């Protein structure tokens, strides 16, 4: 995916993950983008551990992997901040 597509993909995945985790009001657009992109990498890595295909492009299965990765990332950051 291109640079702009990664930003859009990350923003969407981070935004959905922040809504799922109840952190949407505390996170801004930049945080959503960063969480979404890092979550896509984390989700792809976790998916590979389970033998599932990771992020392959701008499609629904990749989006779900990215959202799951972003949710895990938000959860882990929440544990560290406690």
pLDDT digits (tens, 9 = 90+) for 21-58: 998 888 888 888 899 889 988 988 998 898 888 778 78
> For residue 74, is pLDDT > 80?
yes
Distance CA 5, CA 62 (A): 13
Distance CA 69, CA 61 (A): 12
Give the pTM.
Answer: 0.87
**Considering the chain, what is the average pLDDT of its residues?**
88
Does 55 or 63 have the greater pLDDT score? 63
Question: What confidence category does residue 1 fall into, taking pLDDT thresholds of 50, 70 and 90?
Answer: low
Q: Which two tokens stand for residue 55?
A: 């992020």
């Amino acid at each position: 995916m291109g640079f702009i597509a990664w930003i859009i993909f990350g923003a969407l995945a981070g935004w959905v993950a922040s809504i799922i985790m109840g952190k949407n009001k505390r996170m801004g657009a930049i945080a959503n983008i960063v969480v979404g992109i890092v979550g896509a990498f984390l989700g792809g890595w976790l998916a590979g551990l389970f033998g599932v295909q990771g992020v392959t492009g701008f499609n629904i299965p990749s989006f779900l992997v990215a959202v799951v990765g972003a949710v895990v990332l938000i959860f882990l950051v929440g544990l560290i901040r406690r």
